[in-house]
Amino acid sequence: MIHDKKAHKYGMVIDLDKCTGCGTCAVSCMSENNVPFKEDESDKKDSITWMRVYRLTNNRPFPDTEVAFLPRPCQHCGGKGDHGHSPCVSVCPATATDYGYDTGIVSQIYTRCFGCRYCMAACPYHARYFNWWDPVWPEGMEKYLSPNVSPRMRGVVEKCSFCYHRYQLAREKAYANGSDEIPEADYQTACTTACPAGAIVFGDLNNPSHKVHQIVKPDPHPDPLNPDVVGKSRNPKVFRLLERLGTNPKVYYMSEREWVRKLGDHYLDGEWDKVKNVYGSASHE
Amino acid sequence: MKVDRRSFLGLGIGAVAGIAISPVGAKLTDDFSIWTQNWPWTPVPPDGEVSYDRTVCHLCPGACGISVRKIDGRPVKIEGLDPYPVNNGGVCLHGIAGLQYLYDPSRVKSPLKRVNNRFVPITWDEALTMVAGRLGELRSDQQPESLACITGSGQGSVPGLFKHFMAAFGSPNCLTMPDLESWLVRTAKTLHGDEYTLGFDIDNSDFILSFGAGVIDGWGSPVACIQAMGSRRQREATLIQIEPRLSNTAAGADRWIPINPGTEADLAMGMCAVLLKENLFDPVFAQGFTGGFMRFTAMVQKEYPLDKVAAVTGISASDIQKTAIAFAKAKMPVALPGKGRGEGAQNLKEFAAVHTLNCLSGNVNKQGGTFVKPMPKYLSFPDPLQDTVALKGSAAAPLAGSVQELVTRVGKSGESPVKALMVYNANPCFALNDPSGVRAAFEKIPFKVCVTSFMDETAMVSDVILPVSTFLERMEDVPSTAGLAATVVGLSKPMVKPVFNTRSPGDVVIGMARALGGDMAKSFAWDSYETCLKQVTSKIWGPLARRGHVVLSENPPVGSVETDFEFLAENPETMKPEGDLEFTLIPIDNFRVPPTVPAPSPFAIKTVSDRILKGTDMFVEINPQSAKNLKDGGFVTLTTSAGSFPVRVHFNDGIMPGVIGMVKGLGHMLDNKYVSGKGVNINALISPKIEPVSGMDAAFGIKAGISKA
Amino acid sequence: MDAALIPEGAKRCSFPKFMLGIAIVGAVLLWGVYAMLLCWFKGLNQTNMNDYYGFALWIWADLAVIAVGGGAFFTGLLKYIFKIDELKNIINFAVIIGFICYSSALLILAIDIGQPLRGWFIFWHANVHSMLTEVAFCLSCYFAVLTIEFIPNILENRQLNKVPFFHHLAHNMHGVMAIFAATGAFLSFFHQGSLGGVAGVMYGRPFAFREGLLIWPWSFFLFTWSAAAFGPCFTLLVTRITETVTGKKLVKDNVVHLLAKISGWMIFTYMIAKIIDTWYWAYYTAPGLGFELSHFYTSNGFYGYWILVAEVIVCGVIPGLLLINKSTRENPTFRLIAIVLAVIGVCINRWVMVLQIMAVPVMPFDTWALYIPSWQEVATTILPVAYGIILIAVAYRYLPVFPQELELNRLPEARES
Amino acid sequence: MSEIENKTEHGSMDGATAGTAGDPKNDTGLGLGVIFFIVAFLICFLSGWLLFPKLLYSKHEQPFNFDHVLHVEETGDCESCHYLRDDGTFSGIPKTESCLDCHTDEPMGDTKDEAIFAAEYVAKEQEVPWYVYARQPDCVFFSHAAHINAAGMDCKSCHGPIEETRTSRPYEENRLTGYSRDIWGKNIWGIKKNPWDRMKMNDCAVCHEKETGHKGYCFQCHK
């Protein structure tokens, strides 16, 4: 069933001009996915936040300073050439994470993971988090835990799953309705539905009727300048994080502000001016 | 026969061989692997049937509709309710974290009384009897007016019950904490007379001139505001943000105009002067201008000439002129008062001056404009039965016009004029400026009852704590206030049975009144709060219970409103930060840190940036240009006339040189390790300063010094 | 007291003196064991690792001990396959050092993983695409090979050798050792390489990423090469230390010179390859991804160009040249300097290929992440050193590790160690 | 070979003879060794097969017997009690409330089991703490809808002929893992005669591979 159907490719586009940095996506994610918390969460390098909101600045002095916020879930990389060899998946020694070719979603199986953390080393987005502690909820608070996501134990890696359990439930619902199609509205991640600014759009990048496809207009052809890169956006305002590495994330970002778009990747002196108006890959064939 | 080495060898090999071809090895290997995958201390949440239930969030004045996902009746997730007239599916982090408040470690689990500085659990009957005994003494001593009451918000049937209680008891001293709504009501009262409040239709406005209002930083009804801002670009509406610091709102605005802290009122007056000079005010709306308009016009022209305002505010004269003209020429302009969240210490002059801009623009009671709307009147309490004691007490002059004034008065007096105090849904010992002064004043009050869900700073200094259910455990009407164009009354319903031995606050008030007996009990003849709620909301109860919410005054007020300029024409003094130190310390309202009640949830604290809080260290923002010999991240001592605290500096280019910004709402001291002891409460660094014309604390910021620790 | 166990004719220090030494080192070992137990029972929160430093001191220690333990496979390769017979005089010791290094590496790995009881999933549910899987398999197999190589030496203990079975076993094992040496060399080529591959395949980390041949990044080959080059230096260094501690000459100079010469040429050729690799990476690979070289070596408080110079020039090219040149190679002081520099060099290389990778910010708005290990990490890293010293001491005392010992110390000795 | 080794080769010959086999006097030793071997082998072999499974699993009786035959006769099918909810999730074992569609706190029949149900659970408004034979661990997401609706499978394929049972067999729990014995299977060697005999991950994978051509990705069945 997986192969004889057209595969989905779930992805996201986040409008950084709408994002207010309020943090609702992060909390919605924690609440949805049974993410624990501990006494001190101010060390952001050991604080599990599947969805983390970064603060970007244009580094100009007062009063020309500008600020933007960038929410960063797992990028669900397709890997070089979008063949499914994500940086993290290919390195996991115990097959505790895999690339779902039917959805494009990168999994993480807590009961399989034994905590070598190679995937974390391989991920340039710091989207993967390690359970340095056993999660402990204050007395009684474990009553709010959701049965749809299994709580983790100490010593394993976890990360954003694009709320895969919502896909599972949407699929069950579709089956119960005798359908094979999952309507766009039936599978939305917790951050998407929570965002009060409506900055996040989620859906199937392969499905032209989905809003995310319409915004991103992913180019199916490899970038002629860098054949590892597939699925560049044909929308001039849309970019991906560290696109040049060839990780092929399925999370796209959108901004009217040039300095924000430029902060999505590294450019040598002068390179940005050459590429800033080049978008998609077919456009300069 | 001799048992030798070889026999043992045989024994050993036999045993190994026997085990080897039995299933023990394979099975134990597999089981061992499974054993290491399921540790007994990792919780396994029980599965079950999914259901969704709707209610209303009361964590802030926003009053969003929320949907609670339950598994076999057990709430597991809060989401935004769609459709709902306030938030249309949106929700904020605090609402989502609402479930954490249910099981918060600092919840009060049963009624408590203080014995030798420790709290001892008592039964509800004991607690109510004790409260009634102490309060009854005041009435039998013929001084019911010495009971004071502080509530968080003034709206809704529960604050209504407290007012009802105070009236029946015979005390005029019922005060509310200074939230945005209370400022708006005061502003409306000053300019338009009693029984009005203000609302802003930022959803439809095409030009929003914000005098520091953190439209996406928690001002007003936060989710509704963020949604309005989310659609702003599509609507091509302009947002101009005037404040000393590049807040998130400023960062998202079309233009950020930095202004010297504390001079917003002067700027608004200056802009009024520009509009009046250029004749850019709406003549039709001006027909409603009554007292003092001419005097006001003359005064602003004289006292607020452009160059003077430019010098005071630090904004160039041309910017002021251009902005004022752009505002006046916009189709649907709105000027927003209320710095940050718009609550706490603000000042009436600024609110009035900013709202005067709205009045001059004439975009009042129109779509995309400012609404001068009558106070919601959906509640109808029966008149309280007042005996002679009550009548006499009620007639006494109120002790103060604001909570801060009351605290100051008690603090200064030898023997407290307040003999007993009830606090509900408020945490003045944390949220007011100079909290240690507030605590000292409270210590003078012989008897304090705290009606609260959490053991917060105010509960800790109380004599009796009456624990109330959280918003997810109780039924209550929740009117949206917070500057929305239309008032929405939502009905919150219990999503789960009370987790602890708590009661709904309405039942607590009724219980207290009944325990007092006599006419007090007769004034509270309801058998429960639910009956009371149905009766007092009888005008809207039907649709409220059926739909879960009612939108009041679907038809907004139309036409000109009488506007009185007397107050501003007197040119009251602008409330500037006090002191003569080098820097100005201003509070920052950060969306992720709720400012007052309840304290932040563990999730909310988790999202706080490490440039605000690191471990227990508090950061303050400072512009690197004025940092001199300080190091980014270094430890410093921050000193004001009110106190001195060790903090760390965070270099932020987005704050005016000379200004120090500090996030408000941290530094709680609660029995909750996830929240407590983190950072510094900025209020402890600010001494209150009463604005004479309003009686309110107007100390938004204060002069401060900073030195290497 | 334990005279019956000491190889015949060999002089050893008195038993109490020996035990005193063991006790001192043993105390350090126990400290390490305590830290290890803390990590196992309380979890990895005992370390200063974090989500930016998933790999840290331990992985460096792993890579470093395996690199310096490379002397075992390379010496074995030279002795048994290339039939350089002089090396039989140092091969026992090389094997012991290798055994210590590899057992330490496995122990550190067992501490380093979050769920140690599930560690075997790496074999059970292996992902063949992962370099770490290759490492785990080859490492374990090679450790088995090293154990097999070590056994004959153990069986040569005076008492054990009296048992005819052990005697014959030892004899026969020596006979087939070439097969194991070949297997070991083969396995080592792979796991040394895959340890290099661990970093090289991380194409999300431009500081680590290297192009390569088929599935193997260049770092794969560089790691194998460097282990072969620097491993013998470590063998020589430990031999030298053992000689100093025991006060005896244990290996003849010609053997030392030979191994030093081979090592010197290996280092020299490795450095050429390394310089080409670094140059290619700095001028093509990284800029192709938008990174200036300066991105990796500036704007932080620790990692500067100095580390590149230290690794490549001071601790790479210089020891290589010192060991190639006959006069400096045969001068004990210069040789010692070269050997020490070389060992430091390979350790710096492994440090850079683990910790600097973690430190370099990749997202343009991210910042450098520096890290200081916790005492538990330091203690568990010193633990293998203490264990190694004890094992060498015991082996030296009771086993005929150095075949030339008796010959070199035949004269009526005045000294005692 | 080292010189030391060469030396010891000569010195140890006398010791070697003692253990050499072939001394006819020691024949009984061999016989005894064989007997010891056989005895040890049998003990271990039999305990491995017979005693070990007994020790490994603890038995729990269900709160009371449930007669599936009777209920199927009354309701006609499985789905009346074990159904897919509207949202596609599976209802599992009915709650007491659902039983009250037919039952009351007065027993309908005269079995002891129904009396227990009525008195202990219906009257006291309690849920019956059934042991679930087919319970998968928390990390597993199993979609009944996918198997029933999409793949058209019947209950029996995985659960066996449960509708033919008149009594509830004891629930056996693995002392080490806490899993139901049904997961590994009744057969201690793990041999499968029927498709429902074992329900480990590999059994899912084998069937998926056969039916869909692919074992499935992790997240298809894990959460």
Q: What is the pLDDT of residues B407-445, one digit of tens each?
A: 999 999 989 999 999 999 999 999 999 999 999 999 999
Q: Is A139 on the interface with B (CB under 8 A)?
A: yes
Per-residue pLDDT band for B9 (boundaries 50, 70, 90) equals confident
Q: How many independent structural domains does chain D possess?
A: 1
> Chain A residue closest to B90 (CA)?
A196
- Cβ distance B18 to D174 less than 8 Å, yes or no, reads no
The residue extents of the domains of chain B are 5-35, 122-176+378-424+438-485+495-547, 196-356, 583-708
Residue type, C317: V
| Residue D131 in tokens | 């042991």
Probe site for chain D from C124, C151, C157, C163 (most D CB atoms < 10 A): C163
Strands (E), chain D: 57-60, 171-174
- Residue A121: which CATH number? 3.30.70.20
Determine the pLDDT at residue A284.
Answer: 43
Query: CA A176, A177, A179, A185: dihedral to nearest 10 degrees?
Result: -100
Per-residue pLDDT band for A224 (boundaries 50, 70, 90) equals confident
* Rounded mean pLDDT, C358-369: 95
**B160 pLDDT more than 80:** yes
- Cβ distance D44 to B44 less than 8 Å, yes or no, reads no
In total, the C-beta contacts within 8 angstroms joining chain A to chain C are 164
DSSP codes joined into one string, B176-221: E---HHHHHHHHHHHHH-TTEEEEE-TTT-SEEEESSB-TTTT-SS
Q: Is D8 on the interface with C (CB under 8 A)?
A: yes
Per-residue pLDDT band for D1 (boundaries 50, 70, 90) equals very low
The more confidently predicted of residues C195 and C410 is C195
- Cβ distance B610 to A43 less than 8 Å, yes or no, reads yes
Residue A1 within any structural domain of the chain: no
Determine the pLDDT at residue D10.
Answer: 42
Q: What are phi and psi of C409, to 5 degrees?
A: -120, 30
* Rounded mean pLDDT, A81-86: 94
* Nearest Cα to Cα of residue C8 among B36, D11, A277: D11
B625 closest CB neighbour out of A28, A61, A152: A61
- Other Cβ atoms closer than 10 A to A208: 9
* Rounded mean pLDDT, B211-233: 93
Residue D103 within any structural domain of the chain: no
* Rounded mean pLDDT, B459-463: 96
- Is the dihedral angle over the CA atoms A8, A14, A18, A19 positive or is it negative? positive
d(Cα C66, Cα C196) in Å, to the nearest integer?
11
pLDDT digit string (tens) for D151-178? 999 999 999 999 999 999 999 999 999 9
- What percent of chain B has a predicted confidence (pLDDT) above 90? 85
Residues whose CB is less than 8 angstroms from the CB of residue B274 and which lie 6 or more positions away in sequence, other chains included: B280, B306, B320, B321, B324, B325
Determine the pLDDT at residue B342.
Answer: 93
Candidate CATH numbers 3.30.2130.10, 3.40.50.740, 2.60.120.260, 3.40.470.10; the one for domain B122-176+378-424+438-485+495-547: 3.40.50.740
Per-residue pLDDT band for A2 (boundaries 50, 70, 90) equals very low
Three-class SS of residue B380? coil
Determine the pLDDT at residue C67.
Answer: 93
Determine the pLDDT at residue C413.
Answer: 47
d(Cα D144, Cα B514) in Å, to the nearest integer?
56
- Per CB-CB distance under 8 Å, the chain D contacts of C158 are 8
pLDDT digit string (tens) for C115-136? 999 999 999 999 999 999 988 9
Determine the pLDDT at residue D109.
Answer: 83
Distance from the Cα of D51 to chain A's closest Cα (Å) equals 30
Probe site for chain C from D1, D3, D8, D215 (most C CB atoms < 10 A): D8
Residues whose CB is less than 8 angstroms from the CB of residue C83 and which lie 6 or more positions away in sequence, other chains included: none
* Nearest Cα to Cα of residue C22 among C397, C379, C416, C380: C397
Determine the pLDDT at residue D105.
Answer: 78
* Rounded mean pLDDT, C1-19: 86
Q: Is D189 on the interface with A (CB under 8 A)?
A: no
pLDDT digit string (tens) for C375-415? 999 999 999 999 999 999 999 999 988 988 888 887 554 44
Determine the pLDDT at residue D172.
Answer: 94
Residue A279 within any structural domain of the chain: yes
- Per CB-CB distance under 8 Å, the chain B contacts of C124 are 33
* Rounded mean pLDDT, B166-188: 94
Query: Which residue blocks in C113-252 are alpha helix, DSSP H?
Result: 121-124, 131-155, 164-200, 218-246
Residue A64 within any structural domain of the chain: yes
* Rounded mean pLDDT, B552-567: 80
- Burial code (b: 16+ CB inside 10 Å, e: under 16) for B479-505 equals bbbbbbbbbbbbbbbbbbebbbebbbb
pLDDT digit string (tens) for D5-49? 443 444 444 434 444 444 444 555 557 778 888 888 888 888 888
Per-residue pLDDT band for D2 (boundaries 50, 70, 90) equals very low
Residue A238 within any structural domain of the chain: yes
Interface residue ranges in chain B relative to chain D, Cβ cutoff 8 Å:
1-4, 6-19, 21-24, 26-28, 30-32, 34-35, 37-38, 40, 44-45, 47, 49-50
Determine the pLDDT at residue C158.
Answer: 85
Determine the pLDDT at residue B686.
Answer: 96
Least reliable range by pLDDT among B285-299, B552-566, D142-156: B552-566
Determine the pLDDT at residue A5.
Answer: 56
Q: How many independent structural domains does chain A possess?
A: 1
**Domain span holding position D171:** 131-221
Residue type, C187: L
* Nearest Cα to Cα of residue C241 among C10, C31, C19, C417: C417
C167 closest CB neighbour out of D3, D4, D12: D12
- Other Cβ atoms closer than 10 A to B679: 25
Determine the pLDDT at residue D21.
Answer: 42
Domains of chain C plus CATH, in order, are 3-405 (1.20.1630.10)
Probe site for chain C from A132, A241, A255, A275 (most C CB atoms < 10 A): A132
Fold assignment, B196-356:
Dimethylsulfoxide Reductase; domain 2 (3.40.228)
* Rounded mean pLDDT, B326-353: 95
Determine the pLDDT at residue D14.
Answer: 42
**C417 pLDDT more than 50:** no
Residue D167 within any structural domain of the chain: yes
The CATH class, in words, for B583-708 is mainly beta
Residue D124 within any structural domain of the chain: no
Determine the pLDDT at residue B416.
Answer: 93
Determine the pLDDT at residue D23.
Answer: 47
d(Cα A190, Cα A193) in Å, to the nearest integer?
5
pLDDT digit string (tens) for A159-179? 999 999 999 999 999 999 988
- Burial code (b: 16+ CB inside 10 Å, e: under 16) for C225-242 equals bbbbbbbbbbbbbbbbeb
Return the residue matching tokens 């282990």. C227
Distance from the Cα of A225 to chain C's closest Cα (Å) equals 10
Q: Supply the ipTM of this predicted assembly.
A: 0.92
* Nearest Cα to Cα of residue C270 among C319, C222, C315, C211: C222
* Rounded mean pLDDT, B207-224: 95
**D187 pLDDT more than 90:** no
Return the residue matching tokens 């005996």. B387
pLDDT digit string (tens) for A19-57? 999 999 999 999 999 999 999 999 999 999 999 999 999
D139 closest CB neighbour out of A1, A110, A180: A110
